[in-house]
A and B are shown apart, each in its own frame.
Chain A
Amino acid sequence: MLRATNLTKQYPVRGGDGVVQALAGVSLELAEGETLGIVGESGSGKSTLAKLLVRLEDPTSGTVELDGVDLTTLRGGALREQRRRIQMLFQDPYSSLNPRQRIGAILGEVLAVHRLAGDARGRQRRVGELLDLVGLDPRLTQRYPHELSGGQRQRVGIARALAVEPKVLLLDEPVSALDVSVRAEIMNLLDDLRRDLRLAYVFISHDVSMVRHISDRVAVMYLGRIVEQGDWKSVLDDSAHPYTVALGAAVPVPDPSLAEPIQATVVGEVPDPANPPSGCPFHPRCPLAEDVCLSTDPKLLPLRPNHNVACHVAIRAAVPAA
Chain B
Amino acid sequence: MTTAVTPAETTVAVGAPPATTAAWRRLLRSPAGLIGTVLVALILIGAICAIAGLTPYDPVAQHPRDALQGPSGRYWLGTDQFGRDIFSRTLAGIGNSLRVSVVAVALSGVVGTLAGVCAGYFGNKVRGPVLAVTNVLFAFPPLLLALTLATTLTRNWATIALAIGIVYVPIFVRVTRGPVLSLRETDFIRAARVVGLPTRRILARHILPNISAIVTVQVTLSLSWAVLTEASLSFLGLGSPPPAPSLGSMVFDAKVFASTAWWTLAAPGVAIVIFVVGLNLLGDGLRDALDPRNGRNS
Q: Which residues of A are in contact with B by a Cβ distance under 8 Å?
A: 54, 56, 80-81, 83-84, 87-88, 90-92, 94-101, 109-110, 113-114, 144, 146-147, 157, 160-161, 163-164
Contact = CB atoms under 8 A, between A and B. Distances in A.
A80 B15 contact: no
Interface in B209-241: 209-210
Given A96-B188, A98-B210, A113 B196 contact: yes
Contacts of B193: 56
A99 B15 contact: yes
Contact of B195 (A92, A101, A160): A160
Given A99-B292, A109-B201, A147-B17, 8 more contacts: A56-B193, A84-B195, A88-B191, A95-B14, A97-B188, A98-B192, A160-B191, A164-B196
Nearest to A79: B196
B16 interface: yes
Contacts of B206: 98, 101
Nearest to B206: A98
Contacts, number: 77
Nearest to B191: A96
What bracket does the count of chain B residues touching chain A fall in?
20 to 34
B195 A87 contact: yes
B187 A96 contact: yes
Contact of B210 (A81, A91, A100, A157): A100
Nearest to B197: A113
- Most chain B beta-carbon neighbours within 10 Å: one of A97, A99, A144: A99
B116 to A, nearest CB: 18
A54 B194 contact: yes
A110 B187 contact: no
B125 interface: no
Contacts of A113: 196-198, 201
Contacts of B18: 100, 144
A144 B14 CA distance: 13
Interface in B247-297: 292, 296-297
A110 B194 contact: no
A83 B196 contact: yes
- Leading 5 A-B pairs by shortest Cβ distance: A96-B187, A80-B196, A90-B187, A100-B209, A95-B187
Contacts of A90: 187, 190-191
B194 A56 contact: yes
B65 interface: no
Chain A interface, >50% SS class: loop
A99 B17 contact: yes
A82 to B, nearest CB: 9
A146 B198 contact: no
Contact of A84 (B16, B190, B196, B205): B196
Contacts of A146: 15, 17, 296-297
Given A113-B196, A146-B17, A99 B191 contact: no
A245 B194 CA distance: 35
Nearest to B210: A100
A237 B68 CA distance: 99
7 contacts: A80-B196, A84-B195, A91-B187, A98-B192, A98-B210, A99-B17, A146-B296
Contacts of A83: 194, 196
Contact of B197 (A94, A96, A99, A110): A110
Contacts of B14: 95, 99
Contacts of B186: 95
A88 B194 contact: yes
A253 B194 CA distance: 38
Nearest to B16: A99
Nearest to B209: A100
A144 B292 CA distance: 14
B190 A56 contact: yes
Given A146-B15, A146-B297, A99 B210 contact: yes
Interface string B95-120: 00000000000000000000000000
Contact of B188 (A56, A98, A161): A98
B18 to A, nearest CB: 5
Nearest to A51: B190
Nearest to A113: B197
A255 B131 CA distance: 60
B21 to A, nearest CB: 14
